Amino acid sequence: MNDRHLFYRHLAQTSSAPLALEIERARGVYMYDKQGKAYLDLISGISVSALGHGHPHVLGAIREQLNRYAHLMVYGEFVQSPQVRLAALLTGCLPAGLDNVYLVNSGSEAVEGAMKLSKRHTGRTEIVGFRGAYHGSTQGALSIGGHEGLKSAFRPLLPDVRLLDYGEEGQLGQISERTACVVAESIQGEAGVVVPSVSFMQALRRRCDETGTLLVLDEIQTGFGRTGRLWAFEHFGIVPDVLCLAKGMGGGLPLGAFVAPREIMRSLTHDPVLGHISTFGGNAVCAAAAHAMLEVLIREKLWEQVPAREARFRELLKHPTVKSLRGKGLLLALELEDGQVNRKVIRKCLERGLLTDWFLYADHCLRIAPPLTIRMEEIDRACRILAEVLDEF
């Protein structure tokens, strides 16, 4: 049996029509199938491969750590150099109050940890989220997500959750003294890249301060330079109480984190002890890869190059079939007529060697989220293919 047959037979499927590409290797912004065909990666594994595929500094860090050890003990018990070096480098890039890092395996886990931390620290039970939000597929993260189509088959979910309309300042008064935390994406991703106003985000920060509510910002997709700032919350002049990270963090390996002030994070150490635990969180190899990724990101200040690349996409993707191109930096949504047209565009782009995708809650929008290292000539090629395909519609 070949791998394709085994894929359908033994791997759990998430849809009835997976892309089923057989990729043999990947370097930079390209992936190569078994026949050697190259695909320009316009989505970077859903904002994961921020430095592209197979960055030499990241690969070197992985090899070096593999020669030392991979796993020793559950998270938080041993002093492991890759973990502490990563935490120190990461907090050095964040506002002073965000000085304590809890390493986990994924974005969903980061959100789950942030919700538990908020309940434990405040002694409150209500969690506020926003319609249109996506925070992950675990039951807690799904509970505060904003799409009933994904949630209805799995109810009952977490109680005491309140959903507001994203961007509506008039609804922020519903955040009260019984709200443990508000969980919000700095920029909503799966809704089709919805960028809130500065006024809304600052009003949200003020309301949380007024009620003693923790503001949890989900930068799982927007962090690490993707929007043209190192952190998307910098666009709004605010700082969260808890920050959730993942995707681009691990340099291609599975890693996430929630970050908070030390006095807040200490809430998980007592009453009960081991209030939050993880076997594989902060795996040494993943932490080494993340440290190497962050070193490159900081050294080359890749986020400073992002606005020019965004401008190039905007310049070249003016087309009669495009209703809008919204987003920030290298997280863009190309709005087309409907989901059916978008799916056809995505398939035809794939035939021409361009990999793109749609959004969970906005299937009429085509995703543009390439590695931050994409060169101008590669943007030109991607846009040329897109324009040729769009001409057919």
Q: Are residues 192 and 340 in the same domain?
A: no
If asked whether residues 134 and 168 sit together in one domain, one would say yes
pLDDT at 14: 85
Give the domain CATH number at 88. Answer: 3.40.640.10
Q: How many residues does the chain have?
A: 393
Asked if 354 and 388 touch (Cβ cutoff 8 Å), the reply is no
Q: Which residue is associated with the tokens 């309301």? A: 207
Cα R_g (the chain), whole angstroms: 21
CB–CB of 392/70 below 8 Å?
Answer: no
Measured distance CA(144)–CA(184) in Å, rounded: 9
Q: Which two tokens stand for residue 42?
A: 């316009």
Give how far the C-alpha of residue 99 lies from the chain's centroid of Cα atoms, to the nearest Å: 21
DSSP state of 53: B
* Segments forming the whole domain that contains residue 324: 3-54+302-391
Distance (Å, whole) CA 320 – CA 246: 36
Q: Buried b vs exposed e over 106-142: b needs ≥16 C-beta within 10 Å?
A: bbbbbbbbbbbbbbbbbebebbbbbbbbbbbeeebbb
Q: In terms of domains, do 125 and 201 share one?
A: yes
Domain boundary among the residues 254, 271, 300 is at: 300
Same domain for 325 and 295: no
Q: Which of 262, 278, 300 is the last residue of a domain?
A: 300
Same domain, 154 and 113: yes
Structure tokens of 391?
């001409």
Extended beta strands in the chain, E state: 23-27, 30-33, 38-41, 100-104, 126-131, 161-165, 179-185, 214-218, 242-245, 256-260, 324-328, 331-335, 354-355, 357-359, 362-368
Q: What is the pLDDT of residue 294?
A: 98
Q: Are strands 331-335 and 362-368 parallel, antiparallel or unpaired?
A: antiparallel
Same domain for 193 and 67: yes
Which residue from 59, 80, 88, 60 is spatially nearest to 283, judged by alpha carbons? Answer: 80
- DSSP state letters, 196-217: PPHHHHHHHHHHHHHHT-EEEE
Within this chain, do residues 11 and 127 fall inside the same structural domain, yes or no? no
Domain boundary among 300, 328, 352: 300
For residue 365, the SS3 value is strand
Give yes or no: residues 147 and 225 share one domain. yes
CATH number for the domain spanning 371: value is 3.90.1150.10
The two structure tokens encoding residue 370: 């390439």
Pairing, β 324-328 against β 331-335: antiparallel
Residues 382, 284 share a domain: no
Cα–Cα distance for residue pair 230/17, rounded to 1 Å: 36
How many whole angstroms separate alpha carbon 277 and alpha carbon 263?
18
Task: Return the pLDDT at 15.
Answer: 85
pLDDT-flagged residues of the chain (< 50): none
**Which pLDDT belongs to residue 204?**
98
Instruction: Name the domain count of the chain.
Output: 2
Q: Do residues 182 and 85 both lie within one domain?
A: yes
Write down the pTM of the prediction: 0.97
**What confidence score (pLDDT) does residue 316 get?**
98
Beta strand pairing call for 161-165 and 331-335: unpaired
Domain match, 293 and 311 both: no
Give the tens place of pLDDT for each residue, 187-217: 999 999 999 999 999 999 999 999 999 999 9
In a shared domain, residues 127 and 250: yes
Residue 217: count other Cβ atoms within 10 Å of its Cβ: 29
Degrees, nearest 5: CA angle 109-113-116? 140
